[in-house]
Amino acid sequence: MPKVAVVTTGGTIASRRDGQGVSRPVVAGSDLLGTARTGTEIRVVDVMSKDSSSMTFADMDRVRDAVTSELSDPDLDAVVVLHGTDTMEETAFLVDLHHADPRPVVFTGAQRTFDHPESDARTNLADAIAAGTDPALRGAGVLIAFGGAVHRASGTRKADTTSLDAFRSVHPNSVQPTGDLRPQRLDPLPWHPIAGTRVDIVAAYPGADRVQIDACLAAGAQGLVLDGLGSGNANPAIVEAVRDCTSAGIPVVVTTRVPHGPTSATYGGGGGGHDLISAGALFSTDLRAGQARILLAALLADPDLTDLDKEFDRRSRVDPAPRIS
């Protein structure tokens, strides 16, 4: 009989609505698992009960530690993590960066509360357990099972606020109901907690000035992620602020607010991607702002890292998963 540890953290999947229709994560793990599929031995590990919009880096460290602790059991086949959808992409990616075990770790959650008459909680939970115990997914790393599809954590983000199929990858081939999701995986990063590492996200928009960047620096930011326009562009004022950051040893990563497609540092004109590169910025090839922030924080937290630029570049590239015909 397969053996799966289910780590609970709260989120919509563990929420009920009160008399005013307000959802709160109050459902215990044992109640959530009461309808899980038979034929699997399940161990429930309650770590926290939070709305994932309230997640901090310290909370994400706790989730990662809980997953690692469960995988110390050699008889365990997989770990399933129940998590709110708002920040699932960040926590799943953090775990994936440090995941050195061939056994799958599968994140899931729900768009509708546990007590909703048409809740997707039970289906997503069953799908996550099935994915975790599927021999074809051994070695696939950290996955997100949601809405009938299985996604690789890297490069996946929440793309719809209400759809039951809420998550999308930057590469369509990385999203499949079944099939081989085992790409060539990079070696895991050494584990260092990211709590205490401040990385802020700054938005680029028409007419943006350097006020946000200066405020982040004044607050003690150790790194910044610029959510750029188009393929990774901004304006001359932002470029100058980026130059000041990098000159002071504060790395700036450029990504894009566009949902799909890679960034490209090809535009000049004073504020384009080429100008940002000239100012010392790094480009996140495929990761969008949320996961780019996690990667930058993980690299900054490693005191032994010697080439942040090179490491960020190779880990921000998400290779399409192979399809099986």
Catalytic residue among 8, 9, 12, 133: 12
| Strand 23-25 to 41-50 pairing | unpaired
Provide the pLDDT for residue 177. Answer: 43
**pLDDT at 38 (0 to 100):** 60
From CA 83, how far away is CA 166, in angstroms rounded?
Answer: 14
Q: List, for the chain, all residue ranges whose pLDDT scores fall below the cut of 70.
A: 20-22, 25-26, 28-29, 34-38, 171-184, 320-325
pLDDT the model gives residue 32: 74
β partners of residue 256: 228
Active site residue 255: no
pLDDT value, residue 178:
46
d(CA 323, CA 304) in angstroms, rounded, equals: 37
pTM for the full model? 0.92
- Using one digit for the tens of pLDDT, what is the confidence trace for 218-273? 999 999 999 999 999 999 999 999 999 999 999 999 999 999 889 999 999 899 99
pLDDT at residue number 23: 72
Q: What is the pLDDT of residue 157?
A: 95
